[in-house]
Amino acid sequence: MKKTLLITLLLGFLLFVSGCFKINNPPVISLTGSVSEGQEIAPMTLVTFEWEVTDFDDTEVTSEFKLYKNGAEVLSVVDTGEAVYALDEEGKYVAEVVATDSMGAQSKETISFKATNLKRELFQSGAGLMYFDYSDYFQYIEDEAFGIRFYKTASEEIVPAEEVTVRKRLNLLDTNDDGIYDTWEEIPNDRPDLQTYVYLPGYLIAYNTIWVPYGFEYGEESITAYYLGVEGPYSGYVLFYQFAEVGFDLNTVYARWIEAHVFGYTLNDYGEAYKAFALRERYDSDEKPVISLSTPDSDIGPGDSFTVGVLTENVASFADLYDVRYIQLSLWNSEGLVLESVEFGNFMSGLKDVGTFKSSDEAVTLYKAFLNGADEAEATDDVFATLTFSVPEDFEGEDIAVGLAYEGYWDTYGTYPDLPNPAFRDVDNGSVDGFIVDHEPIVFLE
Amino acid sequence: MKKILVVLLSALFLYSFAFGNVATQVGSIESEINSAISSMNLSWKADLKESFVAKLETANIGDVEVIFEKLNGYIDLPDEVRERFIEYLKLSYIEEMDEFSIQGMTTTDDLMMSTFVLLEPRAVAESSFVRLEPVRDQFIHGSCWSFATVGSFESALAVQSFGMNGNVDNTFDYSERWGTYHNIDWDIYSFSPDNYVQDKNSLEGGNSYFAMYNLIRYGMMEEEYAPYSEVYLDPREEVPLPPSAYNAPLLKSSRTVMIPPSTSAAELGYSYEDYLNMIKTALSDYGSLAVSFSVPYSFNFYSKGIYSPVEGDYSTGGHAVTLVGWANATDLDDVILAGKTNPDATPILDEEIESYTYVDPTQAASPVFTTTTFWIIKNSWAYDWGDGGYFVIPAISEEQYESGQLGFWEIEGREMYLPIFDDLAHHEGDDLDVNNDGFVDTKDFEYLVEKIGSAEADVISACDISFPKDGKINGEDVAAWVFLYNNR
């Protein structure tokens, strides 16, 4: 009887207490967007978001939407239920809605996505770091010498706060008189008379062969004319002549005009004189992720030691965008050099950097992992690793050189401690494309 | 009115002339080939089906030889790439060859090379293994290389990701059109000093070496987003992508198995048995392979049997196809290839054989070879070509492997490729505590690097954690460790 009374009292007490305290549930958010979680899109995309917030406790709710790019806020709106953002730059984005009810309970919903220029370039087949300018008419050019000149597009603020696209006339200059054009000169738009042609031979006779114009190759640091052998022992071969060691910026539209005659008329009469072109890539010329070796600052000989830095320009940000978690690089060195040490710094922010290496007599492979975990305290820098070599007193080799490895054969791995070609792997262990490895060796003694 | 009638009659006449011309040519050629087959005592037959001949006529090309040259669109890598020396562009170019220069993303071979992995051959017990996957139709374009690559992609995805016996039920249908949109610009590739690999939208000839890399860096979209039907009848080589392609989901492979040519495999130390087992391991455990060969003229007219060239044969261009299985000589009278489209289809051979001996007239002195293994290969010329879309050729013999005597028509003369799809499921048995100290930490990472190159069995057992396993400890295992550490 006592027990029954006790239970009844306890139940009554619980009933009383539950009436005194109301349990407040946080609001429920439904966030949708024109992009979905994990999606990769191209820049220059209008992204839209919509959200609804429901509070089952019927309290007043405020909702705040924020869009972050690489952790920095780029858009913030309150209680609108929708947001629009003209996304024009690469980066990792997070759309976030935080809802707060009148009793202070909060909830949060996010959509993470990223914008990459790779996504844009996927649909630009036919463009890249090199443009080959070919016309069937070139080989019929009748002039002893024909002229070529160039134009580029640029943005100019002609009216305040308004950028318009303009065509710039260009001249090629040979500033050091070595016979190769090395500098661009922009001509003021109101002085077209200052624009000049580069004159090239209408035909060549060399190596007992007659060569005629065939095409032009436009690169970032070169302009090359191609001549086709049409008569003689090298008929069918191509001879090329690089006449400029400056070239064209990536992702900028240029045009060329060729002043020449074919079949008694100008090339323009056949609609072939003027042509626009562009070198295209996922990055601009000054944003390339390049891995290279530091330049030596003194001569090295037997008994000396020296350091080689593996430098990375724009690599960490590019690696972060494409979620790189593993980099492997091999360097070869001249026979007889002794590897004394390898030091790794903090390269990737936000992740735990771990570096180690394995070496053989003529090569060393660097392994760098970016692991989930606390980031290092020191600041990041662009030095991937620093290697110290010594040259023995009895060194008898002819060269002292170090280079980043590239091997095109399966069977030349013998001198390397591991697979020699550079490897970049993402969070899913997939290979990441787009890094540029400068294989030009640094030479101290030759 | 009379004029219109005359024009119409003329058009009809020209059409019927063209129609009759191709069919007549085919009949005459087949007759000659079958006569040669008979005199050489070979076991195949030239007999193109009428429906296939009718399709050839739609190419609007009067010469049968030219039509097949167009279809055989596999472009071999230049010698400078395969053998790394360049005599492509003579004269002034040669003087600059010793210098390296900075290379751009568009892609260069250094990045591509690190995506190719070797496979550890296992002793494969099955005497025959036949995987009949959907036969596609490249029609009049030189896009065979894309069909071979995508065929291998579909098969590998089915086998590796879902444990299926390949794409036999057409579960996966990916876009060959998307593959051809990212063909390479062969002019840029040939003429640029650093062999830039730059894209070009082109249905003309290509090579799986580059197409396999595109599966990794770009990914592959399903057929519905960029259907081949968009270009099937279009004679242009540069057809724009349909709008549906622009937001299509893309599935990437992780790496590519490369099986080296037989001569390279021998140089790398693989025995004949290892080499065959490497191919068989790839087929049975990972999926069908993209392979290629130079096409003898007579091959184009194949209908059934064990193909080998006839007297007078010559190469009509490169061709890429998909290797789907193998058969022992004694099983050739049991294996039916055309059953999917013909309920009355008969086996490859009518009677059992123990081995097969044939003359190869494409080689100097027309050597004679004997083999007991045969490759079963899927073409991309639809079901009405060959034996239900397939053909059969002898595998390389041990004598050939040792001597390097290989005809231009044999698939072992070139690299074979297969996409790899890495994921956590493939590493279920891999322990990250490779140093066995009871903790998984960065010491394991360092231990793994230290053990690279080790030949000790217990070390290999603990540290060979890459997918696929290659029986070696190298950077692939280190990369796999990082992948697993970050994702488990």
Residues of A in contact with B216 (CB under 8 A): 430-431, 433
State whether residue B110 is helix, strand or coil: helix
> Least CB-CB distance to A130: which of B188, B268, B480?
B188
What integer is the mean pLDDT of A107-112? 96
DSSP symbols for B217-246: HT-B-BGGGS-GGGTTT---S-PPPPGGGG
Cis check for the bond before B468: say yes or no (omega within 30 of 0): yes
Give yes or no on whether A25-121 and A285-445 have one common fold: yes
Would you state the pLDDT for residue B82?
46
CA A376 to chain centre: 25
Selection from B167, B132, B173 nearest residue B338 by Cα: B132
For the cut 80, the answer to whether the pLDDT of residue B91 exceeds it is: no
Report the pLDDT averaged over residues A215-222. 90
Mean pLDDT of A286-315: 90
Question: How far is CA B30 from each of CA B19, B35, B43, rounded to the nearest angstrom?
Answer: 17, 8, 15
What's the confidence (pLDDT) of residue A18?
A: 52
8 Å CB contact of A425 and B106: no
- Predicted confidence at residue B14, as pLDDT, reads 45
SS3 (DSSP) at B270: coil
What is the pLDDT confidence band of residue B87, given thresholds at 50, 70 and 90? very low
pLDDT at B8 over 80: no
Q: What is the predicted pLDDT for the residue at B86? A: 27
Confidence at residue B5, expressed as pLDDT on a 0 to 100 scale: 44
Structure confidence at residue A354 (pLDDT): 96
Domain regions of chain A by residue span: 25-121, 131-278, 285-445
Residue B35: partners with Cβ closer than 8 Å, 6 or more residues away: none
- Top-confidence range, A117-126, B12-21, B372-381: B372-381
Q: Does the pLDDT value for residue B23 go beyond 70?
A: yes
Indicate the average pLDDT of chain A.
Answer: 89
Residue B85 scores a pLDDT above 50: no
Distance of CA A417 to the CA centre of its chain: 29
Q: At what angle do helices B442-450 and B475-487 cross, to 10 degrees?
A: 170
Mutate to test the interface with B, among A421, A431, A432, A442 (most CBs of B within 10 A): A431
Burial of B9: CB neighbours in 10 Å, binned 0-12, 13-18, 19+: exposed
Tens of pLDDT, residue by residue over A90-107, are 999 999 999 999 888 999
CATH topology of domain A285-445: Immunoglobulin-like (2.60.40)
Q: Which amino acid is at B250?
A: L
Band of residue A10 on the pLDDT scale cut at 50, 70, 90: low
B110-163 pLDDT, tens digit per residue, is 888 889 888 889 999 999 999 999 999 998 899 999 999 999 999 999 999 999
Q: Which CATH superfamily is domain A25-121 in?
A: Immunoglobulins (2.60.40.10)
Q: Which pLDDT does position B19 carry in this prediction?
A: 45
Range among A248-252, A265-269, B98-102 rated most confident: A265-269
Residue labelled with tokens 């004159």: A199
B429-474 per-position pLDDT tens digit:
999 999 999 999 999 999 999 999 998 999 999 999 999 988 889 9
- Kindly report the CA angle at B76 between B419 and B294, in degrees rounded to 5? 100
Residue A205 contacts residue A193 (beta carbons within 8 Å): no
Q: Which residues pair with A168 in a beta bridge?
A: A152
- Residue B90's pLDDT is 28
Task: Compare A374 and B4 and report the one with higher pLDDT.
Answer: A374
Q: Is a pLDDT exceeding 60 seen at residue A14?
A: no
Query: What's the pLDDT band for A20 if we cut at 50, 70, 90?
Result: low
Kindly list the residues from chain B whose CB atom is less than 8 angstroms away from the CB atom of residue A437: 103, 110-111
Mean per-residue pLDDT, A392-408: 89
Res. B3: pLDDT tops 60: no
List the single residue in A217, A367, A409 with the smallest CB-CB distance to B475: A367
Confidence at residue A16, expressed as pLDDT on a 0 to 100 scale: 53
Check whether A13 has a pLDDT greater than 70. no
> For an interface test with B, which of A35, A122, A279 has the most B Cβ atoms less than 10 Å from its Cβ?
A122
Total residue count of chain B as it appears in this document: 488
For B100, the closest of A129, A367, A439 (CB atoms) is: A439
Q: Do A428 and B115 touch (CB under 8 A)?
A: no
B445 → closest Cβ in A283, A354, A437: A354
Please give the backbone phi and psi of residue B438, each rounded to the nearest 5 degrees, phi first: 90, -5
Q: What percent of chain A has pLDDT over 70?
A: 94
B110 vs A406: CB contact, 8 Å cut-off? Answer: yes
Taking CB atoms and an 8 Å limit, are B475 and A126 in contact across chains? no
Whether residue B103 is predicted with pLDDT greater than 50 in this model: the reply is: no
Radius of gyration of chain B (CA): 24
How far is the CA of A432 from the CAs of A129, A424, B154, B215, B485, in angstroms? Answer: 18, 5, 22, 12, 19
Confidence of residue A108 (pLDDT cuts 50, 70, 90): very high
Query: Residue for token digits 């960029």?
Result: B226
Gyration radius from chain A CA atoms: 32
Domain covering B79-420 in this structure, CATH number: 3.90.70.10
Facing residue for B100 by CB, picked from A124, A407, A440: A440
Q: How far is B477 from chain A (nearest CA, A)?
A: 11
Within an 8 Å CB–CB cutoff, is residue B240 touching chain A? no
Tens of pLDDT along B156-196?
999 999 999 999 999 999 999 999 999 988 877 776 666 67
Touching check for A314 and chain B: CB below 8 Å? no
**Average model confidence (pLDDT) across chain B:** 87
Half-sphere exposure of A355 (CA within 13 A, CB side): 21
pLDDT score at B177 = 95
As separate numbers, helices (DSSP H) first and strands (DSSP E) second, chain B gives 16, 13
pLDDT in tens, B59-82: 778 888 888 888 887 887 665 554
Distance from the Cα of B345 to chain A's closest Cα (Å) equals 43
With a cut of 70, say whether residue B12 has pLDDT above it. Answer: no
**Phi (first) and psi of residue B71, to 5 degrees:** -70, -35
Q: What pLDDT is attached to residue A404? A: 94
Name the band, by pLDDT with cuts 50, 70 and 90, for residue A291.
very high
Contact B480 A428 (CB under 8 A): no
Q: What is the pLDDT of residue A305?
A: 92
**B10: pLDDT confidence band, cut at 50, 70 and 90?**
very low
Every domain of chain B and the residues it spans:
79-420, 427-487
Considering only CB atoms, which chain B residues are within 8 Å of A434?
Answer: 105, 217
Q: Does A128 contact B at CB distance below 8 Å?
A: yes
- The burial of A205, by beta-carbon neighbours within 10 Å (0-12 exposed, 13-18 middle, 19 or more buried), is given as exposed
Half-sphere exposure in the Cβ direction for B75 (13 Å, CA)? 20
CA of residue B83 relative to chain centroid, distance:
20
Q: Is residue B319 predicted with pLDDT exceeding 70?
A: yes
Q: B244 in contact with A at a CB cutoff of 8 Å? A: no
Alpha-carbon dihedral sign for residues B48, B292, B255, B401 = positive
DSSP assigned state of B386 = T
> For residue B188, what is the nearest residue in chain A, using CA coordinates?
A132
Residues 155-214 of B with CB under 8 A from A: 181-183, 185, 187-188, 191-192, 196, 198-201, 213
Indicate the burial class of B343 (C-beta count within 10 angstroms; 0-12, 13-18, 19 or more). exposed
Q: Name which of B205, B144, B204 is nearest B378 in CA terms.
A: B144
Percent of the residues in chain B that have a pLDDT greater than 70, as a whole number: 88
Predicted confidence at residue A79, as pLDDT, reads 85
List, for residues B333-382, the tens digit of each pLDDT value: 999 999 999 999 999 999 999 999 999 999 999 999 999 999 999 999 99
Q: How confident is the model at residue B107 (pLDDT cuts 50, 70, 90)?
A: low
pLDDT in tens, B322-339: 999 999 999 999 999 999
ipTM value of the model?
A: 0.83
Closest to B459 measured CA to CA, from B428, B468, B449: B449
